[in-house]
Structure 1
C-alpha cells in the first residue's frame, strides 16, 4: 500500500464514515454505494497517513478519468509523442476546469491516434482497440497495485454509446470505464508528493490546472465543480485542487446516477488532505448539489480542521 496506517487517523476516518452512512442512509448511501480514501500528507517523498473504506470498489468514474488524461497528455507532450496543435492547451484546461467532454475526447484522439464514429469491421476494430489501450498502458507501466482492474479507454458521453464506442464498451458493458477510490487517491498523491514521470514544469502545470480559484466571478457555476461538490462550503483560506464527476440518467443504468469528487485541501496551519469520494444511486446523485457540500464540510471539520 502506498500509504501508512496510523491509528489516530484511521480511528477518525472510521468514525466519520460511520456517521456519514448514518446521516445519508435514507438517500441510499451504504457500504455498497460509497467509497472513501482519505490521505493526510507528510513530508515530500514519504508515505502519507491513509485510510480506505471500500477503496477497491470498481465503479463507473464519470469525469474523474480526466485527471488521468491530464497527466498522460502532459507526459506525452514532454516526450514528443503527440503534436501540439494550436488549440491543445485550451482543450487541456477546458477538460479540467469545465469538465468538457468535447475537449477530453479530442485529447483522447490525439493520445491514441483514433477517432470515434460508426462501427468497425472486426479485423479493423481489433487494431483500433489496441490503440485505445494505450490510455491504460500508460498507467499500467507505473506499476501501481491500485490500478488493477481500472479502465479509462472509453470517451466521455452524456448518454448511451453508439458505433465503435459501443463496440469497445461491449454489449454487456464489461469494458466500460472503471476506477476505484484508491486509484484516484494514488494519482493525486503522486502528482503532489510522489514520483509521477513528469518534469517539475509539467507537474506544476497540472497542479495549476487542477487548482480551484474560488475568487473567480464564475466560480459558483456548477460546471466549475465546486458549488455542488465537496469544496463548496470550505473556508476562504482553504486551497483546493479537484476533479469531480457526475451523471444523471444516461439511458444506460450501468453509467447512471454517480457522483464523485477527488479533492486536495490545504490549510495554512495543517498538512494537506486528499479525499477520494465515490458514490452511486439516484437519490444521492440527484440530491448531490446539497449533500456533497455537506459531506465536504463534515470531512473538513473532522479530518482537516482538527489538525490545525
Structure 2
C-alpha cells in the first residue's frame, strides 16, 4: 500500500466514513471505500484508507487509466496520432463517453468487439484485449492487485464475444480498488508514470474540471453531483467519476464513484477516492457526494 497512515488521519477518516454512511439510509460501512491522500513528510503520501484494497466494479473510473495508457502508446509509437483519437480521448473524460472509450480500447488493442468468436481466433482476441491489464501490471504497484480493466464500457448488458470474455474464469468484469485509483492520480501529479512531460501535462489538462465554467452544471460533466460539486470558489479540480444505475446485469448495477484531486492557494493538494455500492447510493440524493466532498476539504484543512 502506497499510503502511510497516521493517528490523525485515522481519526478523521473513520469519522468521515461514519458520516457518509449515516447520510444515506440503509447504507453500511461495507458499501463505502474511501482513500484520502496528501503529501506528508519528505513528500511521501500520507492519508487514510477504508476498504481501499477491495476490488469493486469501477464504472467509468477506468477511463482515466485508458487515457494514461493511450498517451503512453502515443509517446512510444505504439499508436498513431490522429484527430479521431484526440477527440475520443477528450470525450471519454470530458463527457464520460462509452463510445469514445471503446474506440480508444480498439486502438490500444487492435481489436473490435461484439460478434462471437471461437477457438484460436477468440483466444488471440482475448490476449490482445488483456494488453489493457498488462500495461498496469508492469507498473509493479501492489495497489493493482485484484484489478482488471480489459472489458469495454457498456450502457447496458453485453453480447457475443464481449459477454463471453466478461464471464471468463467465473467472472472477468472490470474491477478496480480505491487504492489503485488513488495511486494513478498520485503518480500522474506527484510521482512517476511512463509518460513524457508533454503527455503528462496533456493528461492533467484533460482531467481538469472548471467549477466556474459553463459546463459545470451539466450531469455529463460529472462535477455538480460528485465530490467537486460543492467546493468553495477558488479551488482547482481534476477528476473522473463513474455512475451506474440499472444496466440489466446485477453485477454492473448500482455504483457511484469519484476520484478527485483538489488544490487551492496555500493548500497542499488533496486526493480523494470514494467508491460506493448499492442502490441507496447510486439512486440516492444527488447532494450526498457534493456535501461529502466539501466536508472532506474542510476537515483536512482543520487537521493541518
Q: TM-score, normalised by structure 1?
A: 0.95
1:17 paired to 2:17:
yes
Alignment RMSD: 1.5
Unaligned residue ranges in structure 2 (runs of 5+): none
Q: TM-score, normalised by structure 2?
A: 0.96
Deviating 4+ runs (over 6 angstroms): none
Q: Deviations over 1:77-128 (max 9, x none)?
A: 0000011222111111101111011110000000000001211013211110
| 2:23/2:288 contact within 8 Å kept | no
Q: Deviations over 1:236-290 (max 9, x none)?
A: 1111100000001000000001000000110212111100100011121112522
Q: Relative to 1, partners in 2 of residues 1:288 and 1:143: Cα closer, same or farther, differing over 3 Å?
A: farther
State which of 94, 110, 134 in structure 1 corresponds to 2:91: 94
| 1:29/1:279 contact within 8 Å kept | no
| 2:115/2:160 contact within 8 Å kept | yes
Secondary structure of 2:240's partner?
strand
> 2:237: which partner in 1?
240
Unaligned residue ranges in structure 1 (runs of 5+): none
| 2:57/2:174 contact within 8 Å kept | yes
Shift of 1:190: 0.5
State which of 30, 33, 45 in structure 1 corresponds to 2:31: 33
> 1:62: which partner in 2?
59
Shift of 1:58: 1.1
> 1:175: which partner in 2?
172
Deviates more, 1:162-171 or 1:247-256: 162-171
C-alpha separation between the residues in 2 aligned to 1:172 and 1:244? 28
Shift of 1:307: 5.2
1:80 paired to 2:77:
yes
C-alpha separation between the residues in 1 aligned to 2:169 and 2:294? 38
1:105 paired to 2:102:
yes
State which of 192, 196, 213 in structure 1 corresponds to 2:193: 196
